[in-house]
Amino acid sequence: MNPLRTLILAAAGNDTIRHLVATAPVSRDVVRRFVAGETTEDAVAATKDLVAAGLSVTLDYLGEDTTDRAQAEKTVQAYLELLDRLRADGLADRAEVSVKLSAVGQALDERLALENATRICEAAEKAGTTVTLDMEDHTTTDSTLGILRELRGTWPWVGGVLQAYLHRTLDDATALATEGSRIRLCKGAYKEPDTVAHVAPHEVDLAYVRCANALLAGDGYPMFATHDPRLVEIIGERARWYGRKPGSYEYQMLYGVRPDEQRRLAAAGETVRVYIPYGEEWYGYLMRRMAEKPANTALFLRSLVSK
């Protein structure tokens, strides 16, 4: 792994740096570029701005790796409150939620995660929107796909995520490319061993294109989560080749990342969904975004020392 990335990921676990980031007045502006805020109100405000700009959104209440039932319950309550607001504010046709099963108890007890995810799906149904289950490290893939299968038995609109870097993913993509199946394809964000994942970036990119082809060739609704300009272009070409019309697939990008490109694609008639993270647990998320892109880190470090 590149040394800067290693350093930033180490900072993600450092309390002193966390305190510095949370309290430095200017760094708050940089945090706000990538995280919508800490409250439901902040999340709804960011959603309204993006929807007004012609974009769709998926909202993630930050927090993961919960080993505490009370914390898992707090996360469920946050989603229930948010879904209620999306319904009340008439946003549910353009805004859905993304859920990390580890944040609702997967590491404690798989049944608890299923029960909690079920409560969130019930609230999403009432609100008139959908849920996508984020994918985490490879030790959770089977469990997460199993829970996805169970939830889809009741709510076929529950979406899943596949990570192109995993060797298994082409098979998963082929199996899941069925009618009504909503699948987000991303490169994959976790540090995985080469026994289970492609490690070289160009291998990951090639795998992404193979999986994208499998999803586009099938009958499901693929959701292409990437900021990579080359992949965005290839997906556009492949979608046309498979006779896919805009609206039969979508692009997804993170809040604050390539916002001009998000708007350009939407203006060209594509469906573009922005992943909006919010909540008190923003620090680890922010550090991962920094680790992905050195230019973001430079921007961020400058903001810590300048006024």
**Beta-carbon-side half-sphere exposure of residue 237 (alpha carbons within 13 Å):** 7
The two beta strands, 95-99 and 56-61, are parallel
Stretch that binds ligand FAD, among 143-151, 186-194, 212-220, 237-245 (CB under 6 A): 186-194
> Is 228 a catalytic site residue?
no
Contact 131, 96 (CB under 8 A): yes
Q: Does 257 engage in binding with ligand FAD (CB under 6 A)?
A: yes
Tally of CB atoms within 10 A around 228? 16
Catalytic site residue from 60, 94, 134, 172: 134
> Among 59, 97, 114, 135, which residue interacts with ligand FAD (rule: CB under 6 A)?
135
Q: Does 203 engage in binding with ligand FAD (CB under 6 A)?
A: no
The DSSP call for residue 124 is H
Q: Can you read off the two tokens belonging to residue 151?
A: 């939830």
> Among 81, 115, 203, 292, which residue interacts with ligand FAD (rule: CB under 6 A)?
292
> Among 189, 196, 209, 217, which residue interacts with ligand FAD (rule: CB under 6 A)?
189
Cross-strand pairs, 273: 56, 252
CA distance 187 to 227: 10
Q: Does 254 engage in binding with ligand FAD (CB under 6 A)?
A: yes
Catalytic site residue from 184, 238, 273, 289: 184
Closest approach of Cβ 222 to ligand FAD, in Å? 13
Closest approach of Cβ 243 to ligand FAD, in Å? 25
Q: Helices 15-23 and 27-34 sit at what angle, rounded to 10 degrees?
A: 100
Site string for ligand FAD, 33-62 (x = CB under 6 A): ------------------------------
Closest approach of Cβ 232 to ligand FAD, in Å? 9
Q: Can you tell me whether residue 159 is helix, strand or coil?
A: strand
CB-wise, 114 or 254, nearer to ligand FAD? 254
Q: For residue 47, which of 39, 103, 121 has the smallest C-alpha distance?
A: 39
Stretch that binds ligand FAD, among 25-33, 46-54, 115-123, 182-190 (CB under 6 A): 182-190
CA distances from 107 to 112, 165, 282 (A): 9, 23, 20
> Is 134 a catalytic site residue?
yes
Q: For residue 286, which of 81, 2, 20, 41 has the smallest C-alpha distance?
A: 20
Q: Does 253 engage in binding with ligand FAD (CB under 6 A)?
A: yes
Stretch that binds ligand FAD, among 64-72, 150-158, 187-195, 234-242 (CB under 6 A): 187-195
Q: Does 30 engage in binding with ligand FAD (CB under 6 A)?
A: no
Q: For residue 281, which of 68, 111, 94 has the smallest C-alpha distance?
A: 68
Starting at the edge strand found earlier in the chain, the sheet holding 272-278 runs: 131-133, 95-99, 56-61, 272-278, 250-254, 221-225, 182-186, 160-163
CA distance 122 to 116: 10
Binding residues for ligand FAD, rule: CB under 6 A, are: 134-135, 161, 163, 186-190, 225-229, 252-254, 257-258, 275, 292-293, 296
Catalytic positions: 134, 184
